[in-house]
Amino acid sequence: MDCRLLNEKSLVFAHADPHAVSDYVNQHVGSHRILLPRNGHPEASLSHRTFGSLDLCQISYGSRVQVTSPALETLYHLQVLLRGHCLWRGRGEEHYFTPGELLLINPDDPVDLTYSDDCEKFIVKLPAAFIDKACSENQWRHSGEGVRFAPRHRLEELDGFLGLIGLICQEAEAEQSTPLVQEHFAKIIASKLLGLPGSNVSREPLGSACPSFERLVEFIDNNLKQDISLEQLAELAHMSARSLYALFDKHAGTTPKHYIRQRKLEIIHARLSDPRAPVRNVTEVALDYGFLHLGRFSECYKSTFGELPSDTLRRRN
């Protein structure tokens, strides 16, 4: 599998000091440190392109090197081994990656890799926010901790993936490449990764799985007198806060917090309007639904219904 995906147009370093290459990688691809043998004068090479929300990088250090990082924090790394081998240590395991295998590093995973002398990798850097957005746009779900991938995969699990990477590299180096085209390709990459086995992503449509938006609405309506937090809703929906916002924006055209407040106002309006509902005064019912600042409550109520809550109560009597 000895191939070059990025050509000379993307070459940044050739026959270079590995530390200079490492410094560049720290700025553009991900925070790390390298440990080289004391003897020898290895020559590193690096090609790099920014492509929409992605960064594409082909790298070799020309020597046995250990690469470590406490975590990538806000990034995912997809690493395709092209030549040589790479020892990965993590989660109490270790594995020698060989050509044809993929390593997926989650944002909070510690990095401990040892490259062979002839190791060459192709790395795709994906921002965590981009993966999360792709998951939400596909109407898929994951746990509140964010998308997590299993580390070890083979290329055949992603049918046609290497060809797709080659096409993306050509597009990245094309003079007429447009941002819209780049983002479309980037979304395809993200969607393919989200379909890999061993992740915490559920690909069942939100509308056919529990809890859907309707179940969240039911939970809100049943707990309007409680202090409903975004964390509660995200945990119930098995999604991140970002995906929760996207879900409410799609189905309700507003934020979760505003939706909850609006539902409270609607229930209060119904109670104040209904002669059969036991209401002693506006203050009591406002406090009952968690509106502690009565002046602000009255303003919100009037803005929504065109009159003060006291007017609504007075009219029903």
Using one digit for the tens of pLDDT, what is the confidence trace for 99-148?
989 999 999 999 999 999 999 999 999 999 899 888 877 777 776 678 99
pLDDT of the residue at 240: 82
pLDDT at position 119 is 96
| Amino acid 313: pLDDT | 83
Q: What confidence tier does 206 reach under pLDDT thresholds 50, 70, 90?
A: very low
- Bridge partners, residue 65, by sequence: 115
145-154 per-position pLDDT tens digit? 789 999 999 9
The percentage of the chain sitting over the pLDDT mark of 70, rounded to a whole number, equals 94
Q: Are 309 and 298 in contact (CB under 8 A)?
A: yes
Q: Give 228-238 pLDDT, tens digit per residue.
A: 988 888 888 87
CATH code for the structural domain at 213-316: 1.10.10.60
Average pLDDT over the chain reads 88
The model's pLDDT over 142-196, given as tens digits with 9 standing for 90+, comes to 766 789 999 999 988 888 888 899 999 999 999 888 888 898 999 999 988 988 8
Q: Is the pLDDT of residue 305 over 60?
A: yes
Q: In the chain, which residue ranges form alpha helices assigned H by DSSP?
A: 18-28, 128-137, 161-173, 179-194, 213-222, 230-237, 241-252, 256-273, 282-288, 294-305, 309-316
Residue bearing the bigger pLDDT, 216 or 67? 67
Average pLDDT over residues 244-254: 84
Whether the pLDDT of residue 209 is over 60: the answer is no
Q: Which CATH architecture has domain 8-202?
A: Sandwich (2.60)
Stretch(es) of the chain classified as CATH 2.60.120.10: 8-202
> How does DSSP assign 116-174, residue by residue?
-TT-EEEEEEEEHHHHHHHHHHTT-B--TT-----SEEEGGGSTTHHHHHHHHHHHHH-
| Average pLDDT for 294-299 | 89
**According to the model, what pLDDT value does residue 153 have?**
92
pLDDT beyond 60 at 210: no
Close Cβ partners of 78 (under 8 Å, ≥ 6 residues apart): 102, 103, 104, 123, 124, 126, 189, 193
Q: How far apart are CA 72 and CA 229, in angstroms?
A: 29
pLDDT of 219 strictly over 50: yes
* CATH 1.10.10.60 boundaries in the chain: 213-316
